[in-house]
Amino acid sequence: MDNRGIKHGRRLIGDLVFDPGKRQIGRDGRALNMPKLSYRLFSALAESAPNVVTHDELVDRVWRGRAVSHDTITQRVKLLREALGDDATAPRYIALVRGDGYRLLPEVEPLPEDAENVTRGLVAELGRRRVLQVALVYAAVAWSITEVVSFLIEALPVFPAWSKALVAILFVVGFPVAMFLAWRFDIGPGGIRRTQAATATCTKQKAIVGNNLESVTSKTPRTWFNRLFILRSTERTTGRKSGRPTVSISFVL
């Protein structure tokens, strides 16, 4: 199987863990120390495994097309074997195909992400999108309104007995809707914005899909649900801090 399409996912190669994203080769939880050319050589072999990588292909992919001799390639393979703890007379990792090139012996298997990392990333993303905050506010509002309705049912006989159950059902049904809206959208001074995926440089939120907040608040009656917003002040960055706070508002209904 040709593995060139797998650029960032971790792979299990025998007892080695190959992590192209971090540019690391590890064993037993520790990264192996090897020069850049040795890493490139291992990467080229891993991406083509179990196929043979010819000398010309190695020159192109490891040395970026520079003129190198077969002796240089042989010496680099020797250094890589030393870093891996491999033996040329009884190889476990790198096999020589005489007159052709080299190939990787162990099977290359995709390695799924650790469950702990997935959970940590999910919790961080929920916090960034403020889904957890919205859930807490929603629960508090639902409990408060349910208590008010219960009091009114007991105090005023005009309300039917099933009113409390109806209110509870409506809040239960509305909860996943509120979570979905909190995950997908923000409401800020620029209008309704779709929440963008996290990036390494900033947390910009683009794609305006609604009207300006001023027009929304001016055209909508100021009832109790208009105040169910969560305010936050963030500092947007584009390589350096701007020093100017930006108010972002998330609707919880």
Q: Are residues 246 and 125 in the same domain?
A: yes
pTM of the model: 0.46
Domain annotation covers residue 202: yes
Q: Which residue has the higher pLDDT, 154 or 94?
A: 94
- What percentage of the chain carries pLDDT values higher than 70? 69
- Residue 173, domain member (yes or no): yes
pLDDT value of residue 250: 40
Q: What is the pLDDT of residue 196?
A: 65
What's 105's domain CATH number? 1.10.10.10
pLDDT of residue 223: 41
Is residue 1 assigned to a domain? no
- Answer yes or no: is 17 within a domain: yes
Average pLDDT over residues 29-46: 93
pLDDT value of position 29: 86
Give a yes or no: residue 231 inside a domain.
yes
Question: Mean of the pLDDT values across residues 82-110?
Answer: 93
Q: What is the pLDDT of residues 9-37, one digit of tens each?
A: 789 999 999 999 889 999 998 999 999 99
Q: Where are the beta strands (DSSP E) in the chain?
A: 11-13, 16-19, 24-27, 30-31, 53-54, 94-97, 101-104, 108-110, 185-188, 191-194, 229-234, 246-251
pLDDT tens digits, one per residue of 142-187:
888 888 888 887 887 777 778 778 888 988 898 888 888 888 887 6
Residues 130 and 103 in one domain: no
Q: pLDDT at position 73, please?
A: 95
Residue type for position 209 = V
Indicate the number of domains in the chain: 2
Confidence band for 116, pLDDT divided at 50, 70 and 90:
low
Domain boundary among 83, 110, 137: 110
Least confident of 46-50, 194-198, 204-208, 212-216: 204-208
The closest of 186, 148, 192, 180 to 167, measured between CA atoms, is 148
What pLDDT score does 149 carry? 81
Task: Using pLDDT thresholds of 50, 70 and 90, give the confidence band for residue 63.
Answer: very high
Per-residue pLDDT at 97: 94
CA–CA separation, 171 vs 156, rounded Å? Answer: 22
4 part of a folded domain: no
Asked whether residue 129 falls in the same domain as residue 159, the answer is yes
Domain endpoint, select from 86, 110, 134: 110
Averaged pLDDT for residues 5-12: 70
Overall average pLDDT of the 106-133 stretch = 76
Q: Please tell me the predicted confidence (pLDDT) of residue 130.
A: 77
Q: How far is CA 137 from CA 83, 175, 178, 228, 242, in A?
A: 55, 11, 11, 8, 31
pLDDT at 155: 81
Token output for 82? 């030393």
Question: In this structure, are 132 and 239 located in the same domain?
Answer: yes
Residues 84 and 64 in one domain: yes
